[in-house]
Structure 1
Amino acid sequence: MKLGIILETKEFEKAWNAFRFANTALKKGHEVHVFLMGEAVECENLTHETFDVAGQIKTYSEAGGEILACGTCLRVRNLSTTDVCPISTMVDCLDMVEWADKVVTF
């Protein structure tokens, strides 16, 4: 199955669970793409003693998972693209939704 995940929060536990879900899906053989929107574009470096979002993102990326980050949301926060989170557009988000068999939002 092709899963699209849209993450719109940098709330530690929700972001951590989104990437735990993505990692679980990859391990079960599904294709997974994640689109970061709004404050979620800040997730790449989130660490917490209980909810290690950055660690889950690293695991996901190393397993071949794709992450896209809203370019407008990055620019509003004076952030730029990274190797893990390339700048993307709403067209890319729509393409992901059209590609996916199922879309999950967090």
Structure 2
Amino acid sequence: MKIGILISNNDAETLWNAFRFGILCLNMDYENEVTIFLNSKATAYEDADSEKFNIKELVKSFALGGGKIIGCQKSMGMRGLEGNEICQKGGQKDLYELMVKSDKFICF
């Protein structure tokens, strides 16, 4: 099953729950393809990392588990962020394709 997850804010607990859910989807008995699209303030997810909400570790676990992360290139550019091997840059067309090609789509 193809699962799309859209995250649009940088609230630490919201990011934490979204990435935990993405990891759960990857680890279920099904052969799920999970893609997270970071939009708006969520592109600065690393800023929300803390001892209580280990965002960076969850992002790494999600990527190592086979999950794909796309960050809105415009939102990243507004925040001076670059894409990397974990979070590649994408655009609204990528978000659209994720939405229409996903069997399930959830927003955080």
TM range (shorter): over 0.9
1:30-69 pair list within 5 angstroms: 30-44=32-46, 46-69=48-71
Partner of 2:77: 75
Unaligned runs of 5+ in 1: none
Q: How many residues align?
A: 106
TM-score (norm 1): 0.94
Aligned AA (2:9): T
SS in 2 for 1:86: strand
Partner of 1:13: 13
Q: CA RMSD in A?
A: 1.1
CA 1:100–1:21 in 2, change beyond 3 Å: closer, same or farther? same
1:93-104 pair list within 5 angstroms: 93-104=95-106
TM-score (norm 2): 0.93
The whole-number CA distance in structure 2 between the counterparts of 1:58 and 1:37 is: 18
Aligned AA (2:73): G
Identity of aligned residues (%): 30
4+ long deviations beyond 4 Å: none
Unaligned runs of 5+ in 2: none
Q: C-alpha displacement at 1:27, in angstroms?
A: 0.1
